[in-house]
Structure 1
C-alpha cells in the first residue's frame, strides 16, 4: 500500500472546509458605491422563476398562420430583445417548431411589487407587427383606414435601432427628450422617398398592430437613414416609444395560448423550507455517520461538506467571469438527492472497511481494501446517475445546449420540451455526482489513509471493529 503522510489529512481538511466556506460566503470588496466580487457566494445564485416568481407564457402565431422555423426563430429573437429593453435579463425563450409555439419564461423585475401577470404579458405582447404608415387616417375604432391602411412605408425589420436621447435638436438650443431612429439598409430608400414626398405636408404614423403609438410630422426629407421623433416627450414616454419600436420587428402577429404565474412569496417560502430541510438532513446524516462508523463517519462528513461546496461553486460560478446557473426548486431537490448519493458512497466504503477489520486485516490493509472493493459499486451507481442527468439536461434543456447536441440522434424519441425546472434538477444531480467523485471518493480516501497513521487511531474500534484489549 502506498503510504500517505500524516499532514495530508490536515491539508485536505483545511482546503475542503475553506473551499466550502468560501463557496457559501464569497469574498467581496466595497469602495464607495462600487462592489467588487472576488469570489461568488450563495448571494450570487440566480433563482429560477419558481422561486423568484414570474410568468410562464406560450405564444402561437395568429389563427391561420403556419410559421416556418426561420420565422419562429426571428420572432423569438425579437422576444429576447424586448425583454432586454425591459431590463429583464434572466429569461428563457424557446421555440417548438413541431407545434408552432414560442415559450417564454421571465421573472418579475427586481423590486417589483405589482404582480399583474396580464399586464406583464401585454407589455411583452406589444412586440406585435410594427409598421410606419403614411398619414394618420383612422376609422371609428381607431384602426388605420384610407391611405394609412393602404400605404405601409416601413416594417419593424427595417428599423435597426431606436434610442431615447436628451439634448438640443434645432437652432434654438433648447434641450428636450426625443427618439432617434437608425434605419437598416432595407428601409433607407423607402423612408427617404416618403419623407421627401411628405415633408411639410403630412405625418408618418407608427402603429403596433392596429394601435397607433405615435404620429410625428415630417419636417424635412431624411435621406441618411437617421431620423428624429420629437414633440413634448418626457423621459418615460421617450423611452417607452423607443422600447416599443425596438421590440416590434415581428414577422407575424402572436396570440397568447396560455400562461401561468408564480407569486414570489410562495416561491421564496418553498425555497427557504427546502434549504432548512436540507440543513437539518445534513446534520442528522452527519450524526448518524459519526455514531455508526466513528472515524470513517467523521471523514465522510468532511467529504460531504466539500461536496456541498463543489455544488454551490458550480451554481454561482465561484470566480468572476464564470457564468452562474439558474437554480430552481427541483434543482434544490437535486442537491439534496446528490448529498444522499454521497452518503451512500461513504456508507459502502465504511462498511467494507469494517468488514475487512472483522476478517482480521490490519488497519492499513482494511482501509486500502475497503476503498478498493467499494469503488466498483460506487462507480457503477454514479455513472448511471450521470447518464440520467445528461438525458434530463439534453431532453428538457435549451435546444442549442451541449447536452442537446450530444443527444440529438436520440431526441426524436422524446416530445419537444423546454422545462427549465427539470433541466436544473439534471444539472445539480450531475455536478453533485462529479463532486462526490472528487470529495466522497478521492479526497476521503487520502484523508482516511493519512489519519489512520496516527497512533491514537490505530485501534480497530474507531473503524467500527472490536476494541483492542
Structure 2
C-alpha cells in the first residue's frame, strides 16, 4: 500500500527524537557562576580547606549554592556574578596556603542526566568569555637546536666507530656541521659510515691548509621536517600544560607554519595561564670538567669539548658540552623540601632516560655532575622581519658529586624558593618545549560580551525561524505545519548531537551555521511540496502524488545537500577556529535536516494521509 510505513520506522523515528531531546535537555538548565580553587606549590586541597572556605564565605555573608571537593579541586557554586567576584576576592585575601583561585562557570545539569553522559553544549570563547593567546614558535632556535643535536649525534657516532677527528663545530649556515680530519683516508671512512646512516643530509668535502673538512648540511626536506616536528611537539606540550592548569574545554591548535592558538574558555585570571604557557624552562645534565683550570677557561683556553657556565651566585663552572640527559626523558616531577627545608624537585625518568643516567653515574662515581637550568626570556625587541627576539639564559642550578649509581628517580636542589620548585616541576611534567615560544597577541573576552553574542545569535535564529514558520504555514497550510514541526525537531537534533560529540564547541559562527541550516531545512520540503502540487495538477491521485513527490524530489535534495556537505568537510579540514565551528554545525545541520525533511515529514504525512482513499483534497 502506498504511503504506509512499517511500525519499526515510526519507532526508530521516535527513538531518535527522544535521544535528541534527552541530550539537548541539559542546555535548558544553564550554568552557575562558580569559583574554582586548586592547589599549587606542593599544597593539597582537602576537606579542611573546604571548611575554611565555607567559614570565609559565611563571615562575608555570601551564601553559596553548593561547595564540593572533586578531583583535588574545590568548586563553589554561587547565585550571581556579583557573589562570584566578591567570593573570589575574599577567598584570595583570607585563605592561607598555596592555592589558585579562579573564576569559572559550572553546568547545572541534574545528576540523572550526568549519569548517562548528558551535558550542556560547550560554548566557545566568543560566547562564554575567557582568554585568547596567539603564540609564535621561534623557528630559528628550533633549527639551532637541531644543529646542536647534529653535533652531539655525529660526535657520538664517530667516537663509537673509533674514527678520529680533529674537531666538530657548527657551520655558519646554521643548518649544518663541519667535521675536521687530519687525513683524506679518515674522511673517506667517515663518509662511508655516516652517509648511509644519516638520510636527509648532504655531504661535501674540502681541503683548507692541510685540514680535511667534511661539511654536512640538512636538506630542505629535513629542515622543514625539523620545523614541523618543533611545532607539533610544542602543540603537545602546550596541551599538557593546559591540562595542568585544570581548564575545562580548552582549545590548542596550530595556525600557519609557526604559530599556535590557545583559547581558555571561562578563565578571566590570565596571570597564571601566561606564566605557565609562556614559560620555556627545562633542564640538562652535564659532566663537570674538573681537569680544566677555571682561570685558563676564563681566559679562553679550554678544550673544544667544554664550555663555561655560571652558577646563580656568579661563580663560573666548566662543564662538558656533551649532554648526559635532557628534560625530554622526564615523566614525572614533584616539588617539595629536603631534610633541611630547602626546596627541591624529585624527578622520575622514562626507561631510556633511566638507563642513560644509570650508565653514566655508574662509571663516574665520585665525580661532579652539573644540572643546567635553561630558560628563554622575551627581550621586548624584534628582528627585521618583525618576529620577537628571545634571549636564552643558561645557568648551573647545582653541582653535585655522584655518590652512587642513580636510576630512574633522583632529586635536584639549588632552587631559590618553593614557588620556583613548583613551577619547574609543573613544566618538567608537561614537557620541555622543543623551541621557545612568545605570546604575540592576547585578548580577554568578558562573560558579559559572551552573553551579548549569545543573545544576538539566539535573536537572529528566532527571527529567522518565525519568518520561515509563518511563510510555510501561510503558503503550504497543513503541510506547512508538518514542515515547521520537522524544523523544530531539526534544531533539537543539532543541539542534541553537538552536545553528545566530545570536543564539539558552539561558537558565534556556529550559530550562523544553525541559522543557515534553518533555511536549508525547509528548502527540501519546498521541493517536495511543489512536486506534490505538480503531480496533483497532472491528474495523479492524492496517494500517487504524495508518493511521487517524495520519491522524485529525493535525488534533487540529495545532490544539493551532498555538495554542501562536501563543502563543509573542506572548510573543516583547511579552516581554523571560527571556520571549523561553522563547518561543524553546517555539516550536522545538513545531516539532520535531510533526516527530518525527508524521513520525518514523510512519517507524519503517512500517518495522517497515507493509505486513505476518502481524501478528496490536500491542504497544500
- Matched with 2:132 is 55
What SS does structure 1 have at the residue aligned with 2:619? helix
Q: Which residue of 2 aligns with 1:400?
A: none
Equivalent-residue separation in structure 1 for 2:505 and 2:27 (angstroms): 20
Equivalents in 1 of 2:274, 2:69: separation in Å? Answer: 34
Q: Does the 8 A contact of 2:17 with 2:493 survive in 1? A: no
TM-score by length of 2: 0.57
Taking CA–CA contacts closer than 8 Å with sequence separation of 6 or more, which of the two structures ends up with the larger relative contact order?
1
How far apart in 2 are the matches of 1:308 and 1:434? 12
Given the alignment of the two structures, is residue 259 of structure 1 paired with residue 441 of structure 2, yes or no? Answer: yes
Correspondent of 1:72 among 212, 231, 237: 231
Deviation per CA, 1:314-352, whole angstroms, max 9, x where unpaired? Answer: 3122xxxx5241222112211221121101111222222
Partner of 1:113: 268
C-alpha distance after superposition, 1:351-395 (max 9, x if no partner): 222333344433212211221232232122112211211211222
Q: Which residue of 1 aligns with 2:505?
A: 326
Deviations 1:245-285, CA, capped at 9 Å, x for gaps? 234523333344x3242514323421332123213422442
Cα offset for 1:300?
1.1
Flag the 1:437–1:5 CA change in 2: closer, same or farther, 3 A: closer
Which deviates the most, 349-358 or 185-194? Answer: 185-194
Aligned equivalent of 2:346, options 180, 186, 191:
180
Aligned twin of 1:444: 601
Instruction: Give the direction of change, closer, same or farther, for the CA distance of 1:455–1:247 in structure 2 (3 Å limit).
Output: closer
Check the 8 A contact 2:21/2:493 in 1, yes or no: no
> Is residue 568–residue 587 contact of structure 2 (8 Å, CA) maintained in 1?
yes
SS in structure 2 at match of 1:323: coil
Partner of residue 433, structure 1: 590
The offset of 1:12, in angstroms, is 7.5
Match of 1:354 among 533, 540, 548: 533
Partner of 1:416: none
Q: What displacement does 1:451 show? A: 0.8
- Give unmatched runs, 5+ long, in structure 1: 397-418, 464-469
Larger gyration radius, structure 1 or structure 2:
2
Measured in 1, the distance between the counterparts of 2:245 and 2:361 equals 28
Q: Which residue of 1 aligns with 2:327?
A: 157
What SS does the corresponding residue of 2:589 show, helix, strand or coil? helix
Counterpart in 1 of 2:98? none
* Matched residue, 2:381: none
What SS class does the counterpart of residue 232 from structure 2 fall into?
helix
**1:211-239 residue CA offsets vs partner (Å, 9 max, x unmatched):** 57994674854611311346999986654
Alignment root-mean-square deviation, CA = 4.2
Q: Tell me the SS of whatever aligns to 1:92.
A: strand
2:10 and 2:603 in contact (8 A); partners too:
no
- Residue 123 of structure 1 aligns with which residue? 276
Q: CA deviation at 1:424?
A: 1.9
2: CA distance, partners of 1:252 / 1:6: 63
Q: Report how far residue 457 of structure 1 moved.
A: 9.3
Matched, 1:206 2:353: no
Partner of 1:367: 546
Once residues 246 and 194 of structure 1 are traced to their aligned partners in structure 2, the CA distance between those partners, rounded to angstroms, is: 27
Q: 1:15 to 1:194 in 2, by over 3 A?
A: same
Q: How much has 1:107 moved relative to structure 2?
A: 1.3
Do the aligned partners of residues 359 and 197 (structure 1) sit closer, same or farther apart at CA in structure 2, a change above 3 Å counting? same
Name the CA shift for 1:378/1:3 in 2 (closer, same or farther; >3 Å). closer
Distance in 2, matches of 1:388 and 1:450, equals: 35
Greater percentage in strand = 2
Give the Cα–Cα distance (whole angstroms) in 2 for the partners of residues 287 and 12 of structure 1. 29
Tell me, in whole angstroms, the C-alpha distance in 2 between the residues paired with 1:394 and 1:6.
Answer: 40
Report deviation, 1:182: 1.1
5+ long unaligned stretches in structure 2: 29-65, 71-110, 144-222, 289-307, 377-391
| Matching of residue 45 in structure 1 with residue 121 in structure 2 | yes
Query: Are the equivalent residues in 2 in contact too, given 1:20–1:309 (CA < 8 A)?
Result: yes
Give SS of 1:2's match.
Answer: coil
Aligned-residue offset at 1:430: 1.3
**Aligned match of 1:415:** none
Contact 2:24 2:492 in 1 (8 A): yes
Inter-partner Cα distance in structure 1 for 2:137 and 2:522: 47
Q: Distance in 1 between matches of 2:470 and 2:8?
A: 24
Change in Cα spacing, 1:372 to 1:153, as seen in structure 2 (3 Å) is closer
Q: How far does the alpha carbon of each residue in 1:137-160 deviate from its partner, in whole angstroms, 9 at most, with x for none?
A: 748xx7977327876866643442
Distance 1:259 1:275, change over 3 A: same
Structure 1 residues 432, 107: closer, same or farther in 2, change over 3 A? same
SS where residue 268 of structure 2 aligns?
coil
Quick check: 298-307 or 380-389, which moved more?
Answer: 298-307
Instruction: Output aligned runs, 1:13-412, within 5 Å.
Output: 15=15, 18-26=18-26, 35=111, 37-39=114-116, 41=118, 43-52=119-128, 53-61=130-138, 63=140, 66=143, 68=226, 69-88=228-247, 90-94=250-254, 96=256, 99=257, 101-108=258-265, 110=266, 112-115=267-270, 120-128=273-281, 130-132=283-285, 138=310, 146-147=316-317, 156-164=326-334, 179-184=345-350, 185-186=352-353, 187-188=356-357, 189-190=359-360, 196-198=366-368, 204=371, 206-209=373-376, 210=392, 215=397, 218=400, 220-221=403-404, 223-229=406-412, 238-256=421-439, 258-265=440-447, 266-317=449-500, 323-396=502-575
* Equivalent position of 2:619 in the other structure: 462
Any idea what SS the aligned residue of 1:462 has? coil
